[in-house]
Amino acid sequence: MFKFIHAADLHIDSPLKGLDNYEGAPVEEIRGATRRALENLVNLAIEEKVSFVLFAGDIYDGDWPDFNTGLFFIKQMSRLQSKGIEVYMVAGNHDAENKMTKKLPMPKNVYMFSSKKSETVLIDKLELAIHGQSFATGSTTENLASGFPASKNNYFNVGLLHTSVDGREGHDDYSPCTLNDLINKGYNYWALGHIHKREVLNEEPMIIFPGNTQGRHARETNQKGCTLITVNNGKIEAADHHSLDVLRWVRCEINVSGVENSEEILDLLKEALDRDVTENSERTLAIRIVVIGETKAHYEIHRDTDNFVNECRAQVLSAFGEDIWVEKVKIETTPPVGTDSNLDDQDLIRGILKRIEDISSDDDELGTIIKQLAEFKRKLPPEISQGDEPFELANPLVIKEMLKYSGDLICGKFMESDQE
């Protein structure tokens, strides 16, 4: 029997842009989270007495120039070496772009698979064959899996690969392949990387994306960690997820349908956060609160959204202290159908302008708008979409200007009607 850990997408010291602009953000804790997650992985490997660790790419984050990042990784690999634990890894798209991947010498227990062609490492004492290939460039688009060798008879065969498989939303389509490409190799286990959400693609043979080891922003939510595999008599006996993250991003969605006022919403918020804290104990939570539903409180909270957001933050602070940081409050409510708004025109205009301002400062919402406009752009005449001054609908700065113009136009029309 032997055990091994499968991890991927560490993105150590991934730069977190604009973090200082967030009110009350635990900046240092977030910036150090990827390092602490790796320390937790090494601790787990030592505690479980694993035979080896597999890293399926993206140890680093793009061409991040700080060599202290690489030195930290070497230090952690040296800890594994002192316990006789081997490390096998492939370079992903971020590693291929990074100078440290090629320049920093690794401890003797670390083996990086070649990017020129697939290789096989045999560990005879475990009757184990590990097949792998690294990325040569940051945008590897060929099917690397197709070049992997057939399985070795009477050995436990593992494939180690950074790939999008058949594509995943939010991830570049690197080293694409089909699920059948992997299954047909006849391996016992495929250790994949690149997709940051844990996913078991197939049970027999077992094919897993372990997800990244530490969430880095509000779109990388819930548990993050690695997979611990136990092999007994040539078969997988257990495949257990182990959380490594020290700061967890959580989307807290509150349905306020039927609620009468903002005070009731705050009560629902407290109940929802009680559940989140219970489910994600012993770590700091970064919460994005999303308020949805058809409610009579819609106009009340839209009259002064800043006040409502601050009430939410105050509720969290008073109930949970610094264990929870509210990253953002998004209000996506609607008024009950057929009700009178009870808003005068100024309140309505103020709410519209505030909404435009919120969208302009939210990268997620800008990205959604750009995606929706992509289809519209394809229908534009060439003189508009490809002329000397093309309509740049994929440029966030252009979209922000369009939103600002919309706000100015609304104000202008309101002033005209007010003077009539």
Do 148 and 185 meet the contact criterion of CB atoms below 8 Å apart? yes
Are 76 and 23 within one domain?
yes
Do 370 and 394 meet the contact criterion of CB atoms below 8 Å apart? yes
The residue from 278, 309, 343 where one domain ends is 343
Its pTM stands at: 0.79
pLDDT of residue 76: 98
pLDDT of residue 16: 64
Q: Would the CA dihedral through 25, 31, 34, 36 be positive or negative?
A: negative
Q: Which domain holds residue 338?
A: 246-343
Are 312 and 414 within one domain?
no
Are 224 and 122 within one domain?
yes
pLDDT of residue 386: 52
Do 362 and 332 meet the contact criterion of CB atoms below 8 Å apart? no
In order, the DSSP letters of 235-256 are: EEEEEEEEE--SEEEEEEEEE-
Are 93 and 238 within one domain?
yes
pLDDT tens for the chain, residues 1 to 420: 999 999 999 999 886 655 656 667 787 888 899 999 999 999 999 999 999 999 998 998 866 567 888 899 999 999 999 999 999 999 987 766 555 556 788 999 999 999 999 999 999 999 999 999 998 876 778 899 999 999 999 999 999 999 988 866 656 678 889 999 999 999 999 999 999 999 999 999 999 999 999 998 888 999 999 999 999 999 999 999 999 999 999 999 999 999 999 999 999 999 999 988 888 877 889 999 999 999 988 888 887 888 999 999 999 999 888 888 998 999 888 888 765 444 455 566 667 767 777 777 777 777 777 777 777 766 666 555 554 445 567 777 777 777 766 665 565 455 445 444
The residue from 312, 343, 374 where one domain ends is 343
pLDDT of residue 2: 97
Are 273 and 233 within one domain?
no
Are 16 and 132 within one domain?
yes
Number of domains in the chain: 3
Do 180 and 213 meet the contact criterion of CB atoms below 8 Å apart? no
Beta bridge partners of 238: 230
pLDDT of residue 415: 46
Do 327 and 30 meet the contact criterion of CB atoms below 8 Å apart? no
Are 185 and 211 within one domain?
yes
The residue from 343, 360, 392 where one domain ends is 343
Do 220 and 196 meet the contact criterion of CB atoms below 8 Å apart? yes
Are 191 and 123 within one domain?
yes
